[in-house]
Chain A
């Protein structure tokens, strides 16, 4: 499954980049995220509650950052297992573009793969759910970063 979209964020590019590398902010913005811990500058472990249609499961897995080009782009990828609910893996290419000094446009290009019960039961729901989750993440990410900038953090 693949999708791409963009999000306008009222913050300068460097601030957005910093936030993209801040586990606290990521944790706040990833829908259903229970925990997110840095194990190295480019590796994190995460626990996320994921729900597709009738299946709800807690996924445990790794998140990795690669192809870092500060403050312009990176690739965030991960894979996790939800036990009987199945597994998920995928990644997003995130690319930042300045639209003036105070506005950054965040482009994302996601590909994801889902298996197990999630894929079986939720086949017809996965695309829409994934789109919704991605949109939710980048929307709240934009809001959180925008607020922090407005508050002068």
Chain B
């Protein structure tokens, strides 16, 4: 061996495979303003569409007069429900099995609902046209408070459902009821509560908020009348699903629909579903024969496209005096707005909310969820979380703190006492899940040691004593959160969207010179797939990550995939990538054996190629195998080196983490200061630690926003009063605290590379950490639960209600 021969370490480093803090390759274009987003698309002759929206949250539409609008120079058409009825598109199906108006058909059911679509030669003309459309409304009484939606005399919202006593998920109990979903053993749970030594009960609300990606939802459609083909560029988190939905509802053959998701500026669940804008631009393009663009503005995005949360969770825990939990009972009132447009796997009307037993060994549990209609925007998407998992984690983590308070126990100690033990995995939860792996005690103890938990409690006790002596007006809270997520939807046995199993896919094609392309069914919205997917392939087949191009988002070239949301990309698409790579590796091994004139079994893998066992100098690199695949394959073998994998996961993955927030609050002003935030995540095998850290920072920042102020709030008349960034809390670097990140590694036993997904964990675990910190701070003054969001005013109000100004 001469000095020029690279060492093993050098060969491995060159791959930049799994575990490497590889810099994000997509950032080269993003940081130079060279990203290519939907709104960058400018097609010749392109028209622009924009909506007339309802100022009322519930009203009959008596008349739409477009006479003056059509006189505006540049305005070409005003599309209404009547126009859409001619092509049977006035209503569209939702992912949740409901139907939704594309444009107001007879009445409007939420403020800013789409009423008419004005098509013009430019955006300004479209806007002028909107101002000239005269709509005559007859206001109707509204249903805003979800707790009043099922009152006997509550106004009927969905007249189209009159007489329908059964919905997509079973019987409907009331004209504003959508579904009831129950899981668990009711009798056993009721018995546990009867026998319980200690019980707690609290109505825990997770308020309505919005994913608010900085790039709003947008779409360009271009219909080629000659070929009968429809091209759609859009901000789609799941482009293949959009293609299938369009084929089903527009009756265009699926092979003549081309869906392209270019670069996406954040999705967070907001860009999963189908919106009236998509239908309207498609119809407008078919009608005019020209490309048509629709781009939402901020207010439209916040007030009309999919919201998140709005779960009102009445939660009860039964326990022994020593703090061993014996039962959990939860009833959720789920406010879905005017149409049930939740983006959950089809069989799951409340998503995976039955992960609500969390990280604890509950012997029995019972859950019931009532979905209801109100005069609010439709949605209910998973905002940076797996389906309804944030709600579940918040519910159980808040409830455990409330139980600890009632028992007079430390909340961390109560958690340690009730955790599922490492040796219990795979663990079958009382509400039906099989947790694949975990080591909760190790993670919790690492968190407690790192932050000196005991020391912080002492400091808190001293500060409380000083407060009571009147020496300070500051209170201190420790927010402990230990979450278990359920991600990677999902196994075909229980997960589908409109009947399509939730697999994902990858196609890898290696070129003669040892470079290649990987096309994947997922779709990055900023997660860094172009970087991490190549790293998986680099480790699996020994081709440097830099030599692999990753492509997503074009339904003509990418294999069918279900897209990116619910932290499913790494658990599902990531597995498909590894499996496709392994198919290539198997063929490569046959080629190497033939070229090295040995039996396949005599070869072993060595970083970037094969070597003959016992003869380490007899090797063939993957790069050389690539070349050989195109000119000298074994007799009878097809040339070329490519593979496709469609991966149907055997189970979900269960990432977990231990978070703590240390916060001080000034009771006189409500102003809080996050002194420390520590987040330990266990996402199994770590593909790119730098990207994980970035994902955790982003998720924590969103968790901070939601817990401490971000909300979609309606006044009593149904006006959205937080419809712009003036009122909707969007934290910047100024407000955002400093984040400390840490990890443990418990690989998933069933995933090809042991990875579990991480992008959403910090949002799931972060919100309860903040909220528990606020609640923990106030608890010694006599409160048990203060509802989110905890902005300054509400903190001040909490202090006032607790009598600290008396």
In the assembly, what is the distance between CA of A119 and CA of B724, in Å? 11
In the assembly, what is the distance between CA of A120 and CA of B727, in Å? 9
B726 on the interface (CB 8 Å rule)? Answer: yes
Of the stretches A3-11, A35-43, A109-117, A130-138, the one at the interface is: A109-117
B side interface size, CB within 8 A: 23
| Residues 721 to 760 of chain B near chain A (Cβ within 8 Å) | 721-724, 726-727
Contact with A along B400-428 (1 / 0, CB 8 A): 00000000000000000000000000000
Assess the B721–A120 pair: CB atoms within 8 A: yes
B694 to chain A, nearest CB (A): 33
A83 on the interface (CB 8 Å rule)? Answer: yes
A86 on the interface (CB 8 Å rule)? Answer: yes
Main secondary structure of the interface of A (DSSP, over half): helix
In the assembly, what is the distance between CA of A121 and CA of B721, in Å? 7
Q: Which of A84, A85, A86, A123 contacts B721 (CB 8 A)?
A: A123
A124 on the interface (CB 8 Å rule)? Answer: yes
A87 on the interface (CB 8 Å rule)? Answer: yes
> Which chain A residue shows the least CB distance to B727?
A123
Q: Which of B57, B133, B717, B726 contacts A121 (CB 8 A)?
A: B726
Assess the A119–B721 pair: CB atoms within 8 A: yes
B638 on the interface (CB 8 Å rule)? Answer: no
Chain A residues, CB < 8 A from B727: 123-124
| Residues 17 to 53 of chain B near chain A (Cβ within 8 Å) | 52-53
Chain B residues, CB < 8 A from A114: 719
Chain B residues, CB < 8 A from A84: 52-53, 55, 130-131
In the assembly, what is the distance between CA of A84 and CA of B726, in Å? 20
Assess the A83–B134 pair: CB atoms within 8 A: yes
Main secondary structure of the interface of B (DSSP, over half): loop
Q: Knowing A84-B52, A84-B53, say if A116 contacts B111 (CB, 8 Å).
A: yes
Assess the A120–B723 pair: CB atoms within 8 A: yes
Chain B residues, CB < 8 A from A86: 55
| Residues 505 to 525 of chain B near chain A (Cβ within 8 Å) | none
In the assembly, what is the distance between CA of A85 and CA of B133, in Å? 12
In the assembly, what is the distance between CA of A40 and CA of B133, in Å? 29
Assess the A120–B720 pair: CB atoms within 8 A: yes
B698 to chain A, nearest CB (A): 27
Assess the B726–A116 pair: CB atoms within 8 A: no
| Residues 89 to 116 of chain A near chain B (Cβ within 8 Å) | 113-116
Q: Which of B130, B131, B299 has the most CB of A within 10 A?
A: B131
B303 on the interface (CB 8 Å rule)? Answer: yes
B366 on the interface (CB 8 Å rule)? Answer: no
Q: Which of B130, B717, B719 has the most CB of A within 10 A?
A: B719
B107 on the interface (CB 8 Å rule)? Answer: no
In the assembly, what is the distance between CA of A38 and CA of B55, in Å? 28
Q: Knowing A117-B299, A120-B720, say if A83 contacts B56 (CB, 8 Å).
A: no
Assess the B719–A116 pair: CB atoms within 8 A: yes
Q: Knowing A84-B52, A84-B53, say if A119 contacts B131 (CB, 8 Å).
A: no
Using CB atoms and an 8 Å cutoff, list the residues of chain A in contact with chain B: 81, 83-87, 113-117, 119-121, 123-124
- 24 A–B pairs (Cβ distance < 8 Å), ordered by A: A84-B52, A84-B53, A84-B130, A84-B131, A87-B56, A113-B717, A115-B55, A115-B56, A115-B111, A115-B717, A116-B55, A117-B55, A119-B717, A119-B719, A119-B721, A120-B303, A120-B719, A120-B720, A120-B723, A120-B724, A121-B723, A121-B724, A124-B726, A124-B727
Using CB atoms and an 8 Å cutoff, list the residues of chain B in contact with chain A: 52-53, 55-57, 111, 130-131, 133-134, 299, 303, 715, 717-724, 726-727
The 9 A-B pairs with the shortest beta carbon distances in the complex, nearest first, are A116-B55, A120-B723, A119-B719, A123-B721, A86-B55, A115-B55, A120-B720, A115-B719, A87-B55
